[in-house]
Structure 1
Amino acid sequence: MSLDFQQKRAKGQPAVLAERIYQTLKNDIFDFRLMPGDRFTESEIAERMAVSRTPVRQALFWLEREGYVEVFYRSGWQIKPFDFAWFEELYELRIVLECEAIRRLCLLPAATCAARLAELCQQWTAQPLPEPGAITSALDEQFHMTLVAAAGNGEMARIHAELTEKIRIIRRLDFTREDRVAATYREHAAILQAVLQQQTAEAQRLLTEHIAVSKAEVRKITLHMLQQARHPLTS
């Protein structure tokens, strides 16, 4: 999560209440209980959650800053419609950042590179594989964020973390099937092996293909889930 929960907690109970509302609404968006394009008012959310409008407004401002909702000052709020062109651009930026991280890692002394990636190597060669779901999605995010952070550029890592937050709403859908979990483990292990062997071009190729396949999968799954949510009896 991009917002510092501990900092918000220190501000008192209203902020904690806003955090709960924020998480509830975000889960509703992620699970398509709140659909892209849905409109609502602060009063409707406040009534539903039995709270005042103040923490609801704060939660919505956090979601707006992260790109999940938009405000219409005369008519309330709206869940932002899905913009696959925008997601395409974010995935392209992700590839650029991660390929650059790989280039920098491959330039390091072999022992230094191995030390920085030791935890990832251990984690992504472990057996048995985890079950599909949120845990695997979080582990995948951690893999890619750690790979970028290991390159040693703090600003690159920060931008990548913000990017990760923005694509989470669709990216997590890639881990709802066992075959995709198994493929992710194989592909991560191959990327790590190429980096450790300082095979820059091969590691970048593997990473680019890995992200491209994931992007295609999540687009297909997202479209299916949107169709299913809108027309549950015909899906």
Structure 2
Amino acid sequence: MGAGLAREVVLWAALVLPGAPARAADGRVVQTYHLQAGLDVDTAGQVARVELPREIPAVLSAPAQEAIKRWRFKPPMRHGRAVTARTYASVDLVLAKQPDGNYGVDVRYIKNGPALALRPPRWPMEQVDGRLTMAAVVQPDGSLTDIRLVASEFSSPLARKQCALAVEEAIRHSRALPERVDGKPVATRVQIPVTFTTQASAGVAGARPDRTKDAGAEARETPELSGQAVALDSPVQPLVAEPRG
């Protein structure tokens, strides 16, 4: 973002929970950042510290941190008392140009849980289209275990089996930053949706191939884990509450 834009930005930020109207709809969206933020939550459920990716421009980082610190969570309990926690939130940071020529920022909460670094699975078959959901447990050491198929939609049992094996292998070799409760890492159950599609036009929602340069060869795809992994039992649960003053 150029210095000129930085000078004219009138920054505002708001917590937009799922289902809430987006203020950016009042203007023209200039850019959307999909990011993961590390959140330290205190015993009152307030966000005491925010870690944003370094590539987020400073002119957006400050209002984003201000907005996120207004979020409220239900802190975990240990031995009958509230304790601190560390979680990782998926956030959309939306820069929009308003009708008056100024710029605004929406900070939208998507979900929270462990931070997963998922390996892309190998492409299991020549032609395949379908989707599946895998369940796993992020262990305190960052490994993913107890991996199993929980849902799938494929045209054949063979396609389902091959795709499930490919995704299971990828997840098994992936790593995660576990959530923390009272300073100690904890296990969290997650579900990971994956979409396989052979069409190169599928876009980011699908598992897309790298085209081969072999004459007469079918274009193949190197699939990526698609969709957002969802934490099923995160110890840090969001609350809908009025922001601080």
Alignment TM-score > 0.5, same fold: no
Q: Which has a greater percent of strand?
A: 2
TM value normalised by structure 1: 0.27
TM value normalised by structure 2: 0.26
Q: Which has a greater percent of helix?
A: 1
